[in-house]
Chains A and B, each alone.
Chain A
């Protein structure tokens, strides 16, 4: 596990800073067909954001839009307050592991070095300092001894760390992850989430998309729900409610409280049956719906999440 002080070289967030990235009324998509419309989003330094939404809701498109890789059809994308058009945001990106070609002949070291491809374009090979930088990062992530291994000869958690190391090796201020815990076992998922926490403590701003509502509800301080547009944005207690989930997923999802944290129960029928027909959790009811709070952004005070796991971080 990481020791946060070791990552001090990464940028320390300034709580009074401007948003790193700001989307103002942005619509974006491919071939003229919008996938996202009217998105307003401010990513503040130190944020740790979970992006929730059903398949096809535009989670990946939003991540790509933040990176400047999707042409915006309207609205404005600002990086550090400066309007940008199709400009690349200096950020680390961790793709879904299932999109990786695991038979490609690359070693762990070769993948991590890719993160520095554009740092020194006119020098054909990676220089000694860059190699040291890569091994430094691998050391911090606990994969330094695996440098010469092929990427397939690793466990799921190690594979995730390799791609994290690639994203972090040029010390980006923003880290984007596309479903980092998809298809991994519970132990690995827990490891990855703790690792991201440590990175966030060390000052890295993180935004990750996911399908795992409960994982983000217990681990992350800020959740953004999208479904073609932003449905809700705020801390888990405000966002993980049956009627927001209904709005996002179009499915009944009873929410229970567990040690003060909202959690989604597996099956509505199960909970109702066990409780003698009385719903144990609230299910959305059209008759007394409260209006959804769209942009309940935590007002400026973006403190990295401390509520969890301090004991386990060493």
Chain B
């Protein structure tokens, strides 16, 4: 009875896709949250929607077109905040919403190009096909390998970019590579989680991990694991309660967050001598939309 969903090929594909996307978002999320860019997941997924529509109109491969679009948006955000007195939250708000609006404008103009864009908005993991699965697996593998090989560089560049530069870390290249990885993550996650749900998948696992550890290495591993577990369980539950897969994953993650937060509060109140782990990472970018 409980194994019933695994008899369907589409469900097995969905579970594999969900675990890869969940782990990928959890891993990327550590760096996103610690860089104070929590809203970039939300913003960039909207920006990528514009890219997806444009690729579809121009008959470019979705993954290539949308990733390129997302990468350019991320670079534009980084450039805007570096060269001007504009905060990253504001830059994300302007650039990604404009890009999203462009997508909407094109969709509403050309009545031919309306195919499954709704799926990208809300996420439909059960519609993941072979090609999607391969794209997700390739992105997850490449990004995991980069984080493994350049672990030291990413840690220093995230902790203290200014000083990292003095120690010879090529922070400019690290940031550019990070933007590309970010765009790739958003594009492959969009189909599974939906534009509107990515932000939570990117932010919740690292925040939960942060509540549980003070070590960067452990936070990376915990966040990835939490991302995988929440996605897989969320999709599994969605089969039985019949809700959208993205919503199911996000609600489950939020519940885990609340539970861990409550537990850490109780622990610090009842056992004040225990290590103080209660503080959250630096505040994320404030308002968007």
- Is B a genuine binding partner of A? yes
Q: Which residues of A contact B (CB under 8 A)?
A: 64, 67, 69, 88, 91, 93, 95, 99-101, 103-107, 110-111, 113-115, 117-118, 121-122, 124-126, 148-150, 152-153
**Are the C-beta atoms of B169 and A101 separated by less than 8 Å?**
no
Among candidates A69, A125, A152, A153, residue contacting B151 with C-beta atoms closer than 8 Å: A125
A208 to B104 alpha-carbon distance, docked (Å): 56
**A107 and B282 contact, Cβ closer than 8 Å, known pairs A95-B163, A117-B152, A118-B167:** no
Indicate which residue in A100, A103, A106, A118 contacts B215 across the interface (CB closer than 8 Å). Answer: A106
Q: Are A117 and B156 in contact (CB under 8 A)?
A: yes
- Are the C-beta atoms of B275 and A153 separated by less than 8 Å? yes
Distance in Å from the Cβ of A184 to the closest Cβ of chain B?
A: 19
Question: Of residues 245 to 282 in B, which have CB atoms within 8 Å of A's CB atoms?
Answer: 275-276, 279-282
> Shortest beta-carbon distance, A24 to chain B, in Å?
22
Q: How far is the CB of A123 from chain B (nearest CB, A)?
A: 9
Contact B168 A88 (CB under 8 A): yes
B214 touches A105 (CB 8 A): yes
Given A118-B168, A125-B151: A99 in contact with B162 (beta carbons within 8 A)? yes
Q: Contact between B155 and A114 (Cβ–Cβ < 8 Å)?
A: yes
Q: Are A124 and B163 in contact (CB under 8 A)?
A: no
Q: DSSP majority for the A interface?
A: loop
> In the complex, what distance in Å separates the CA atom of A69 from the CA atom of B213?
34
Contact: A124 with B149, CB < 8 Å? yes
Name B's A-contacting residues (CB within 8 A).
34, 148-153, 155-156, 159-160, 162-169, 210, 213-217, 219, 275-276, 279-282
A124 and B167 form a contact (CB under 8 A): no
Chain B residue at minimal CB-CB distance from A88? B168
Given contacts A95-B160, A110-B155, A117-B152, contact A105 B281 (CB under 8 A): yes
Residues of B within 8 A of A114 (CB): 152, 155-156, 159, 164, 167
Beyond the given A93-B166, A110-B216, A152-B279, could you list 14 further A-B residue pairs with CB under 8 A, ordered by the A residue number? A64-B166, A67-B166, A93-B163, A93-B167, A95-B160, A99-B162, A103-B280, A105-B214, A106-B155, A106-B214, A115-B167, A118-B167, A121-B152, A124-B149
Q: Which residues of B contact A150 (CB under 8 A)?
A: 214-215, 275
Q: CB distance A101 to B159 under 8 Å?
A: yes
A224 to B155, CA, bound (A): 35
A82 to B159, CA, bound (A): 32
Interchain CB contact under 8 A, B167 and A110: no
Bound Cα distance from A104 to B152, whole angstroms: 15
Q: Which residues of A contact B279 (CB under 8 A)?
A: 103, 152
Determine if A106 and B216 form an interchain contact, defined as CB atoms under 8 angstroms apart.
yes
Residue in chain A with minimal CB distance to B217: A110
**With A101-B282, A105-B281, A124-B148 known to touch, is A69 a contact of B166 (CB < 8 Å)?**
yes
Tell me, in angstroms, the Cα distance from A137 to B282 when the chains sit together: 30
A37 to B156, CA, bound (A): 32
3 smallest CB-CB distances across A and B, nearest first, come from: A150-B214, A118-B168, A93-B166
Pick 8 A–B contacts, CB within 8 A, sort by A.
A101-B160, A104-B159, A114-B156, A117-B155, A117-B156, A125-B151, A125-B152, A150-B275
The answer on a CB contact under 8 Å between A107 and B215 is: yes
Chain B residues lying within 8 Å of A95, measured Cβ to Cβ, are 160, 162-163
> Which residues of chain A have C-beta atoms less than 8 A from B213's C-beta?
105
For the complex, give the distance between the alpha carbons of A110 and B158 in Å: 13
Taking a contact as CB atoms under 8 Å apart, the answer to whether B34 and A104 are in contact is yes
**Contact between chains at B169 and A118 (CB < 8 Å):** yes
CA distance A105 to B280 in the complex (A): 9
B-side contacts of A103, CB under 8 Å: 279-282
Smallest beta-carbon distance A170→chain B, Å: 9
Question: Is A105 in contact with B152, judged by CB distance below 8 angstroms?
Answer: no
Contacts of A153 in B (CB 8 A): 275-276
CB distance from A114 to the nearest CB of B (A): 5
Which chain A residue shows the least CB distance to B153?
A: A117
Instruction: Determine the distance from Cα of A91 to Cα of B152 in the docked complex, in whole angstroms.
Output: 19
Which residue on B lies nearest to A104, using beta carbons?
A: B159
**A contact residues around B151 at 8 Å (CB):** 124-125
| Chain A min CB distance to B251 (Å) | 26
Contact partners of A124 in chain B: CB under 8 A = 148-152
Q: Closest CB-CB distance, A115 to chain B, in whole Å? A: 7
Given known contacts A117-B156, A121-B153, A124-B151, is B165 in contact with A105 (CB within 8 Å)? no
Q: How far, in Å, is A265 (CB) from chain B's closest CB?
A: 36
The listed residue with most B CB atoms (<10 A of its CB), out of A107, A113, A148, A153, is: A107
**Contact at A106–B159, with CB atoms within 8 Å?**
yes
